[in-house]
Amino acid sequence: MNIRDEMLGLLSAHDPNFSLEQKFYTDPAYFQLDLENIFYRDWLFVGHDCELPLTGSYMTVQIGAYPVVIVRDKEGRIRAFHNTCRHRGSRICTQDKGKVNRLVCPYHQWGYELDGSLRIARQVGPDFKPADWGLKPVHCETVAGYIYICVADEAPDFNAFRATVEPYLAPHNIKDAKVAFESTIIEKGNWKLVWENNRECYHCAGNHPELCRTYPEAPTATGVQGVEEDPEMIALWENCEAIGLKARFQMAKDGRYRITRIPLLNDAVSYTMSGKAAVKKPLSDAVAGDTNIGAMLLFNYPTTWNHLMSDHAISFRVLPISAEETMLTTKWLVHKDAVEGVDYDLEELTYVWLQTNDQDRRIVEENALGIRSPAYEPGPYSVQHEGGVMQFVEWYTNTMIPRLGGKTQNLS
């Protein structure tokens, strides 16, 4: 049996109350199918508009086998291109980020304009038509300061996601913020283990002493069930709505994304050890009042989860490296005029989530090591605490089955 059929068989037979079979977390051929059917087809979060402040500012990202460059053009528009030269294929931009007048290939110096058109190619003969050799575009969309790309020839719809989340995100003014700090770690575990861990707080009390000062263990905070019946949640939503902020739980029909505001513990307003704001200057006037707006949580499979508070926001980007390695990039965003050492202390701003990320990295790595054992077999979820994990696995299963050529069974 070929790998595709084998994977399809396992997914079709998967009991939603149990974790996945070992191969989904360890097998390079399964990983390749994840790349081809998810990461090469869907919209992926890559970074923020404010990281590309000027004409020619760029960032690069590696999506499986695809190097991509994202750049701000002369009209101020953010575009994305395959970062592979149309001459003999060299990578053009080799740094994580930078600023250029033109995209110049380091190999033989073919030079591309910021709109991707080829401008200079030396000594290529009279019949050469530069217009035929522009950079290949990658779909690129932005919403409220968050940049998404899609490397597929035809991208799925982005508008429904934009229409849903833009009114929630826009008041935080991330478009005009600045990245106060970023961290990138490699977790030695499959990308799905990173997500499964993120989608539950069953592990929080035993692992996250710092985060647990402010983040509720209650499944309604992290998960997707019973959220709309939680009285504390409803009270927060009503307070937010009274000051014009959208707050209610919304989830995509196919389960790909959800957004909601949640109350933090003990009236905390930020993920600090004290629960007090880490940044004196709020992100915007719209979120600056006396009303405690808690934290807004957005996940969008397969690449991002986000927390937005009144004083700062944190974005997380999940990129798959191999069957057993995942890159997690975390960015702390503050008002662009907030001054380090005056308006915020960087250590205080980043402490809780740097600790939490490191704790989660260890969790994921231990999970991966245990799953690699021949003795591993899928185990039962806690329905009370791991509804979010079940939802992630259901999304994964329902996304993969039709794309592998099968019929989805348990669409909810």
Q: Which of 74, 88, 102, 136 binds ligand FES (CB under 6 A)?
A: 88
User: Nearest 5°: phi and psi at 301?
Assistant: -65, 145
Piece of the chain touching ligand FES by CB under 6 A; list 82-90, 162-170, 236-244, 372-380 = 82-90
Piece of the chain touching ligand FES by CB under 6 A; list 80-88, 216-224, 240-248, 257-265 = 80-88
What is the closest distance, in whole angstroms, from the C-beta atom of residue 84 to ligand FES in the complex?
9
Binding flag, residue 196, Fe ion (CB under 5 A): no
Piece of the chain touching ligand 3BY by CB under 6 A; list 87-95, 197-205, 325-333, 336-344 = 197-205
What is the closest distance, in whole angstroms, from the C-beta atom of residue 244 to ligand FES in the complex?
51
Q: Which is nearer to ligand FES, 100 or 319 (CB)?
A: 100
Q: Which amino acid would we find at residue 244?
A: G
> How many residues lie near ligand FES (CB under 6 A)?
9
Nearest to 312 by CA among 273, 346, 277: 277
Sheet holding 111-112, edge to edge: 103-104, 111-112, 118-120
What is the closest distance, in whole angstroms, from the C-beta atom of residue 365 to ligand 3BY in the complex?
16
Sheet holding 295-300, edge to edge: 177-187, 325-335, 313-322, 304-308, 295-300, 257-262, 250-251
Binding flag, residue 201, ligand 3BY (CB under 6 A): yes
Q: Is 87 within 8 Å of 146 (Cβ atoms)?
A: no
User: Rounded distance, CA 356 to CA 210, Å?
Assistant: 7
| Contacts with ligand FES, 130-159, as mask; x by CB under 6 A | ------------------------------
Q: Which amino acid would we find at residue 43?
A: W
Q: Which of 196, 324, 360, 386 binds Fe ion (CB under 5 A)?
A: 360
| Contacts with ligand 3BY, 78-117, as mask; x by CB under 6 A | ----------------------------------------
Q: Which of 24, 31, 45, 110 binds ligand FES (CB under 6 A)?
A: 110
What is the closest distance, in whole angstroms, from the C-beta atom of residue 255 to Fe ion in the complex?
21
The entry of Fe ion, ligand 3BY, ligand FES, none near residue 201 (CB within 5 to 8 angstroms by kind) is: ligand 3BY
Q: Is 279 within 8 Å of 348 (Cβ atoms)?
A: no
Q: Which is nearer to ligand FES, 17 or 90 (CB)?
A: 90
What is the closest distance, in whole angstroms, from the C-beta atom of residue 175 to ligand 3BY in the complex?
22
Q: Which of 12, 90, 207, 239 binds ligand FES (CB under 6 A)?
A: 90
User: Nearest 5°: phi and psi at 27?
Assistant: -85, 120
| Contacts with ligand 3BY, 289-318, as mask; x by CB under 6 A | ----------------x-------------
Nearest to 390 by CA among 252, 222, 247: 222
Q: Which is nearer to ligand FES, 90 or 284 (CB)?
A: 90
Binding flag, residue 198, ligand 3BY (CB under 6 A): yes
Residue holding tokens 């690129």? 140
Binding flag, residue 222, ligand 3BY (CB under 6 A): yes
Q: Which is nearer to ligand 3BY, 164 or 198 (CB)?
A: 198
Catalog residues that contact Fe ion under the rule CB under 5 A.
360
Catalog residues that contact ligand FES under the rule CB under 6 A.
85, 87-90, 105, 107-108, 110
Catalog residues that contact ligand 3BY under the rule CB under 6 A.
198, 201, 204, 211, 215, 222, 305
